[in-house]
Structure 1
Amino acid sequence: MSDFEFDAEIRTDLGTGASRRLRREGLVPAVLYGGDKEPVSLTLAHNKINKAQENEAFYSHVLTLNINGQAEEAIVKAIQRHPYKPKLMHLDFQRVVRGTAMTATVPLHFVNEEDSAGARAGGTVMHLLNEVEVRCLPRHLPEFIEVDILSLDTGHSLHLSDIQMPEGVELVALSKGDDSQDLSVVTIKPPKGASDDEAEDGETPEQPTEE
């Protein structure tokens, strides 16, 4: 996994006006919370964070924040962006406590799409979810979860319960014991012109026999 480490400073000058001034100075305001410590308001170098967040792993990786010389481990919980400029407005970080289970959002990587049974039959692969919320110990946090759809045929879907999860990682939705949370993750839409029976069974319906 990639390493993400950032220098941060504690900020005491709070409020909307102070945040605007920080942004003009090339900084981005942030807050670090969680664990058994009080929330801390921070500032970080905007350009370094902005470049790092282009990497998908940034959102599902345990980061290191060097705060006035003291290292804190954290994950990104929320990012506020400018509505039309490529600019970050605010970040929320949550502390990571080693040995304590945590929740995080992890992206899904779909493999064997072009070689799947449905795609070979002319179907269209449709991603219904692109990320999932997981619970695990920090050392088990994956950068992504792989979803293999090689055997998926047209008119069929894979659900959360069909995903092979990494060791020590569970899906938050399924831990609730509610079948309605077993959402569809990916489906393959039949090619245009396919009948309803084909969409459901993946087979061409039999033609009536002339008498």
Structure 2
Amino acid sequence: MSETYTVKAEAREQVGKGAARHLRRNGMIPAVIYGDKKDPQPIAIPYKETFLKLHAGGFLTTIATIELNGEQIKVLPKDYQLDPVRDFLVHVDFLRVSESTEVTVQVPVHFENEDAAPGLTRGGTLNIVRHEVEVHCPAGSIPEAFTVDLTGLQIGDSVHISAVKLPKGVRPTIADRDFTIATIASTAAGQSEADEDGEGAEA
């Protein structure tokens, strides 16, 4: 699981575009905490700290603790909005969670040992079908990433979800098939060379 962090927040009494602009001028951004059968709680959080967390990776898969009026609230960021023109952060939605709360998240897939895959060293390419895998899991057990070992894979081989070791309690949302994560594909140049070799052998 990704390392958690703490955000100091302020209760937000006013909502709307004018109030949001006032917050941003003061280095804060609007956010809301919802879920757990409680009323949504509008809050304001520090812009710079949140922006850095967003771009550090794993923002939507890392549990955070929000300190609000002396209370500590465990949350999972569920969504955020960026300004379409200037690309700065304008709003964040947080979901209240406990360690056992079931959540649905997108977990990134990382690949290792490309140099040990004959299909890649001989000119093939790694065709990534899924850069992320959507899973159900307890909020306290969100994987930071899934790692796929490419050792020994040849051109034409595929990697399916069954090849990934999933932590206890983590289940793919696609449960009706052993879906593909990546394949080792031949390049056009590699295929052309293979065709020429075949023609030479026939001659």
Q: Which residue of 2 aligns with 1:145?
A: 146
Contact 1:10-1:41 within 8 A present in 2 as well: yes
Unaligned runs of 5+ in 2: none
3-state DSSP of counterpart to 1:38: strand
3-state DSSP of counterpart to 2:19: helix
Separation (CA, whole Å) in 2 of partners of 1:205 and 1:163: 36
Q: Any residues of structure 2 matched to 1:37-116 within 5 Å, and which?
A: 37-116=38-117
Deviation of the 1:20 alpha carbon: 1.9
Separation (CA, whole Å) in 1 of partners of 2:135 and 2:17: 34
RMSD: 2.5
**TM-score of the two chains, using structure 2 as the length reference:** 0.86
Q: Which residue of 2 aligns with 1:20?
A: 21
Deviation of the 1:205 alpha carbon: 6.0
3-state DSSP of counterpart to 2:20: helix
* Amino acid in structure 2 at the alignment position of 1:49: T
* Amino acid in structure 1 at the alignment position of 2:150: I
3-state DSSP of counterpart to 2:49: helix
Deviation of the 1:89 alpha carbon: 0.8
Q: Any residues of structure 2 matched to 1:163-202 within 5 Å, and which?
A: 163-174=164-175, 177=176, 179=177, 182-195=178-191
Q: Which residue of 2 aligns with 1:201?
A: none
Contact 2:118-2:153 within 8 A present in 1 as well: yes
Contact 1:2-1:57 within 8 A present in 2 as well: no
Contact 2:124-2:190 within 8 A present in 1 as well: no
Contact 2:60-2:79 within 8 A present in 1 as well: no
Establish whether residue 9 from structure 1 lines up as the match of residue 5 from structure 2. no
- Percentage of pairs with the same residue: 32
Separation (CA, whole Å) in 2 of partners of 1:148 and 1:25: 47
Contact 1:134-1:171 within 8 A present in 2 as well: yes
Contact 1:9-1:42 within 8 A present in 2 as well: yes
Consecutive aligned runs of 4 or more in structure 1 exceeding 3 Å deviation: 193-196, 204-210
Total equivalences in the alignment: 200
**TM-score of the two chains, using structure 1 as the length reference:** 0.83
- Cα 1:102–1:85 change in 2 (3 A) is same
Separation (CA, whole Å) in 2 of partners of 1:58 and 1:91: 11
Deviation of the 1:209 alpha carbon: 5.9
* Amino acid in structure 2 at the alignment position of 1:188: I
